Amino acid sequence: MFQPRLKDFDPRLGAIVEHLRAIEKELRAFGGSSGRRASAEAAAAGDRIAETIGPILNDIAARFRKGQQAALDQASTLGNQAVKAGTKMGGDAVERIAGKTKQRPLLMLAVAIGVGILIGAAARRT
């Protein structure tokens, strides 16, 4: 019979599959009490249900996978855009610092020495 892996589906689809299995189980029980012919008909009905629902559930699972892939593609695109924006901003900051250094070299030297002293003091404490 139709045996999907429930972990691949949305929990609601898993519940639907469980209900279908319960229906199939009841059809088999009904068929057993009504004789061989009814049992065969019930089994055939269960097979038809499985054959009908199987492709539908497979299609739904494929759509979920496509949605997941689209989300991954979108996240990748946004990540690349963030890296490009960060690179541009970092480059702009370096250019501004270089321009300020050319305008006031002694002030920048003093700032660099001060930052070095702060980093050295922080490193010494740890």
Write out pLDDT tens, residues 89-103: 989 988 888 888 888
Q: Is residue 58 part of a domain?
A: yes
Whole-Å CA distances, 57 to 60, 112, 125: 5, 65, 62
Q: Is residue 1 part of a domain?
A: no
Structural domain that includes position 105? 6-125
Question: Per the structure, how many domains does the chain have?
Answer: 1
Q: Is residue 73 part of a domain?
A: yes
CB atoms within 10 A of CB 24: 19
Q: Is residue 19 part of a domain?
A: yes
pLDDT at 81: 93
Mean pLDDT of 28-49: 68
Question: Which pLDDT band, with edges at 50, 70 and 90, does 1 fall under?
Answer: very low
Question: Which pLDDT band, with edges at 50, 70 and 90, does 5 fall under?
Answer: low
